[in-house]
Amino acid sequence: MSTATASVRMPSTGITNARLGVWWFMGGELLIFGGLLACYVLMRLRHPEWAEHAEHTIGYIGFGNTLVLLTSSLTIVSAFKAADNGQFKKSANLCWVTVGLGVLFLAVKSFEYSHEIHAGFTPTTNLFWSFYFLMTGLHALHIIGGLIAIGIIAKGVAKGRNPQRVELVGLYWHLVDIIWIFLFPLVYVAS
């Protein structure tokens, strides 16, 4: 058994305690975002004028940020593969690349927020913009949390400590990416 997958397994499921805990946590996050997205879709169906509001989002920036997050998914998967093969320094470096891509996403999102607020679109402008800022802002908070976790794990794995945690934080990071894959078309493309 490799060091990256060594952990206590539940006899009833064969799943490690850590992985089970992450899946439970992610299930809760999916309920939060699922409820929010369902509310958004139901409101969108009742308000066709939201298409006009959505035209003011910057679609190419949203698309660019989608590419950034998808690339960060690739780097965290590569970090896990390196950790699983005992290449701890490489794994840590790939974790830091993932952090860098996450910071790039946040920087672009900050520019986008600044542009929209300067154009007069704020959370109090109308219901569309309230949903927009709530959903993308909550997503950004999840990215910040993920970046902190990846950074902490990168420091440990560089020293060969707890390399199995790269997989666990990678699962969370994929959730953040998947949520964005739903947010992007609903908010930017569906105009």
Helix, coil or strand: residue 9: strand
Res 7: pLDDT: 58
Q: Cα angle at 146 between 179 and 60, to 5 degrees?
A: 45
Q: Mean pLDDT, 10 residues at a time, over the chain (191 residues)?
A: 49 72 87 93 90 88 95 96 94 97 97 95 93 96 96 94 90 94 89 62
Q: Residue 1: its pLDDT value, please?
A: 36
Q: What is the pLDDT of residue 100?
A: 98
Region at 14 (left for phi over 0; alpha for psi -120 to 50; beta for the rest): left
Domains of the chain plus CATH, in order, are 17-189 (1.20.120.80)
Looking at residue 17, its pLDDT comes to: 79
pLDDT tens profile 27-51: 899 999 999 999 999 999 998 888 8
Burial class (CB in 10 A: 0-12, 13-18, 19+), 71: middle
Length of the chain in terms of residues written? 191
Sign of CA dihedral 123, 181, 62, 60: negative
Quick one: DSSP state of residue 122?
-
CB 19 within 8 A of CB 7: yes
pTM above 0.85, yes or no: yes
